[in-house]
Amino acid sequence: MESKDLEEEVVAALPEDMRAGLNPSGLSWELVICVLTVALAAILLFLWRGFRSIRSRFYVGREKKLALELSGLIEEKCKILEKVNLVQKEFVEGSQISEATYANLERSKSELEDEIVFLEKELKEERSKHSEQDELMADISKKIQSLEDESKSLKSQVAEAKTTFRIFAINEERLKGAIKDALNE
């Protein structure tokens, strides 16, 4: 009973507007709405912070990947610059090539071009021969097929002729037998 008395005293101590909105569980709607609003704000805050944390991890990973690519590209650039430097040195030294060497190079170039033209002609001839051979093979295979068909037809005709010949032989035997019977009668 004391708890009911205590409850009544606490309710009596509350202001009038808070006492009117109490439900059977003893909570007011305003308090429930406030708690839900704060809880929703806290959830949204945690979700936002979690999203930003995940995004920052993605950015860190992406930055590491880009840093590795950048370092690779810088190394590649250094190697290329070294090669360019070596080529420039060689060019300066090699710019003093004699006229005879230049003439030899030109002659070799023209010989190679002539050989290329010759090989292209040979290639075209080989292709044309190959296509003619393909056509000839196609014609031969068609002729072989037609001869096989004709052979099959002739075989079937020979078989029919043999059958007809046997029938005639049987009929001849019957007629001879019939003639003998007729002569005997």
Cβ-contact 19, 11 below 8 angstroms = yes
Q: Indicate if the alpha-carbon torsion angle 161, 167, 169, 172 is positive or negative.
A: negative
pLDDT given at position 42: 92
For residue 28, the cross-strand partners are 22
- Give the mean pLDDT of 119-138: 87
pLDDT given at position 24: 55
pLDDT given at position 106: 85
- Give the mean pLDDT of 163-172: 92
Kindly list the distances between the CA atom of residue 26 and the CA atoms of 21, 31, 50, 152, in Å, as whole numbers in the listed order.
Answer: 9, 11, 36, 107
pLDDT given at position 11: 63
- Cα separation, 110 vs 160, whole angstroms: 75
**pTM, full prediction:** 0.32
pLDDT band at 19 (very low <50, low <70, confident <90, very high): low
pLDDT given at position 80: 87
Q: Which residues of 63-97 are buried (b: 16+ CB within 10 A; e: fewer)?
A: eeeeeeeeeeeeeeeeeeeeeeeeeeeeeeeeeee
Asked whether the predicted pLDDT for residue 170 surpasses 90, the reply is yes
Cβ-contact 12, 1 below 8 angstroms = no
Furthest C-alpha separation in the chain: 154
Cβ-contact 28, 19 below 8 angstroms = no
pLDDT tens digits, one per residue of 73-115:
888 888 888 888 888 877 766 665 566 677 788 888 888 888 8
Asked whether the predicted pLDDT for residue 72 surpasses 80, the reply is yes
Closest CA to 131 of 143, 142, 141, 123: 123
pLDDT given at position 64: 83
Asked whether the predicted pLDDT for residue 1 surpasses 60, the reply is no
Q: What are phi and psi of 28, to 5 degrees?
A: -95, 155
Query: DSSP letter at 50?
Result: H
